[in-house]
Amino acid sequence: MSFADLGLSDKVLQAVTAAGYTEPTPIQAQAIPHVLARRDVLGIAQTGTGKTAAFTLPMLTLLENGRARARMPRTLILEPTRELAAQVVENFDRYGINHKLNVALIIGGVSFAEQDAKLMRGTDVLIATPGRLLDHFERGKLLLTGVELLVIDEADRMLDMGFIPDIERIVKMVPFTRQTLFFSATMPPEIERLADMFLHTPQRIEVARPASTAATIVQKLVATGSEGHEKRDLLRRLIRGEAELNNGIIFCNRKRDVALLQKSLASHGFNVAALHGDMDQRARTIALDGFRSGEVPLLVASDVAARGLDIPAVSHVFNFDVPHHPEDYVHRIGRTGRAGRAGHAFTLVTRSDERSVTAIESLIGQPIPWAEGDLGVLPEPGAAPAEREDAPTRTRHRGKSGQTLRRRGASETGREAARSEPRARKGGRRDSPERGPSPAVEAEAAPSPARPKEPAPQRTAEPRREERRPAPRRRGDEDDGETPIGLGSHVPAFLLRPAVIKSTK
């Protein structure tokens, strides 16, 4: 099958050739004809499958007829994070070189004024994160009644981040007669429900098992005894020991750990950038550009910030923390071993990670081997913690084979961890219906569909919610919110009234 067989316009075909693509990927081959036929599409596909072009290419063809009107975008694409939204804009720039279309990017962290001006000029394609889109709508700068085609991308990530109520609101604002394209890497029940609600007799296209990991990735578990200095020391030794390391992403579960680890690695002489949701847009762009260009070979990142980023040819992924949800493991290590290239994925495992590792292994349908050699071992319960960051590494081999020892240690971990569960970790275990049980020990940071994955600092004090439906993230930034100063934008009206000071004379 070639692109010419799909019904795309000549302008689009020229751009595809210029991009160097010789044949459509499976999601493109299956989705494009249906999009061109104006049918709704439910695409179950991960990033890396070519799914962005699967909707941008036919959209460009369809948009060749008609004109945009001020404040009334013709098409709307919703993305969960700023970076993903920016990546879709890049796709329109690349494939739309022969078109004169107005593409507007509406994301948080940048000024409203410039975005307002773009909307006023008339927008053919509006690419937005939900929170900022609603902000524009509420300011009266935007009308969604002209939207002919709506794309909801990364729907499962939207759910994780608590955006579904926003999405439901937005969908109510676009015409019922629109065409809808809905993409998700996984289809938990909540996402199925939304797909049923938003799509009219859709064409369902599934291109790859969401649980699959590329065969070209060499995956290893590395045992570590502590969450602190010892773990960071082990990571440094791992990085230094990898002769084939060209560039790598280091994933942490919590965004505060991203910043901490980046600083620690930098202080040990590594050329490393950070990417997490508390960084402003400029800092994120600088970090990402440096990493993409190869100038900065290491990037410490959180799941949400790094999700779906198109960074070709990453040689290594390090899971500094075992991800809470097994799907995140698949996404993380999917950063490496792309397009048939060799990749390496190391996961640092502490005593409390046993259940998470078991869940990952059952999702990917294979055991992950432990790293050979003198990398790290799980200490026996009660062993003293490492004293200092720079203290020489203490290996605690107690048998002939480090691997055997580590394995035994790992199988002990769950029971030990459960017994020694610190009281400070309030909240206990929260089982997510979509994801399965989360380890109790990780409850403090464990994301769930009921909360944004990386809760904004002001939200951490909120009581835990057990309900499945996420709380609305009204003014939230797209992935994890900005810390408001004082009351942020939620200042009650009575506080804004001028004070009347009565004279006592």
Minimum gap (Å) between residue 183 Cβ and ligand AMP? 10
Measured from the CB atom, is 25 or 203 closer to ligand AMP?
25
Measured from the CB atom, is 291 or 370 closer to ligand AMP?
291
Measured from the CB atom, is 50 or 414 closer to ligand AMP?
50
Minimum gap (Å) between residue 493 Cβ and ligand AMP? 44
Contacting residue, 34, 51, 255, 331, with ligand AMP by CB under 6 A = 51
Measured from the CB atom, is 47 or 352 closer to ligand AMP?
47
Select the residue whose beta carbon is closest to ligand AMP and give its number.
Answer: 52
Minimum gap (Å) between residue 291 Cβ and ligand AMP? 15
From 268, 264, 289, 287, select the one nearest 276 (Cα to Cα): 287
Structure token digits, residue 66? 């008609």
Contact by Cβ (8 Å): 37, 14:
no
307 binds ligand AMP (CB under 6 A): no
52 binds ligand AMP (CB under 6 A): yes
Measured from the CB atom, is 47 or 180 closer to ligand AMP?
47
CB atoms within 10 A of CB 457: 14
Minimum gap (Å) between residue 272 Cβ and ligand AMP? 24
Interaction residues for ligand AMP, span 308-327 (CB under 6 A):
310
Interaction residues for ligand AMP, span 230-269 (CB under 6 A):
none
Q: Binding marks (x or -) toward ligand AMP, 11..50, rule CB under 6 A?
A: ----------x--xx--x------------------xxxx
Measured from the CB atom, is 87 or 203 closer to ligand AMP?
87
Contacting residue, 8, 41, 42, 53, with ligand AMP by CB under 6 A = 53
How far is it, in rounded angstroms, from Cα 476 to Cα 452?
Answer: 10
In three-state secondary structure terms, 258 is helix
Instruction: Give the type of residue at 56.
Output: T
In three-state secondary structure terms, 478 is coil
Measured from the CB atom, is 8 or 76 closer to ligand AMP?
8
Minimum gap (Å) between residue 91 Cβ and ligand AMP? 7
How far is it, in rounded angstroms, from Cα 105 to Cα 115?
Answer: 7
In three-state secondary structure terms, 238 is helix
How far is it, in rounded angstroms, from Cα 391 to Cα 377?
Answer: 16
346 strand-pairing partners: 220, 318
179 strand-pairing partners: 149
> Of 51-59, 284-292, 370-378, 487-495, which part binds ligand AMP (CB under 6 A)?
51-59
Minimum gap (Å) between residue 338 Cβ and ligand AMP? 8
Minimum gap (Å) between residue 154 Cβ and ligand AMP? 10
Strand order across the 179-184 sheet: 103-106, 125-128, 75-78, 149-152, 179-184, 41-44, 203-206
In three-state secondary structure terms, 40 is coil
C-alpha count within 13 angstroms, C-beta hemisphere, residue 160: 27
Contact by Cβ (8 Å): 96, 64:
no
Measured from the CB atom, is 51 or 325 closer to ligand AMP?
51
CB atoms within 10 A of CB 121: 12
Minimum gap (Å) between residue 22 Cβ and ligand AMP? 7
How far is it, in rounded angstroms, from Cα 487 to Cα 156?
Answer: 30
Minimum gap (Å) between residue 49 Cβ and ligand AMP? 5
Measured from the CB atom, is 57 or 261 closer to ligand AMP?
57
Instruction: Give the type of residue at 186.
Output: T
Q: Applying CB under 6 A, which residues contact ligand AMP?
A: 21, 24-25, 28, 47-53, 310
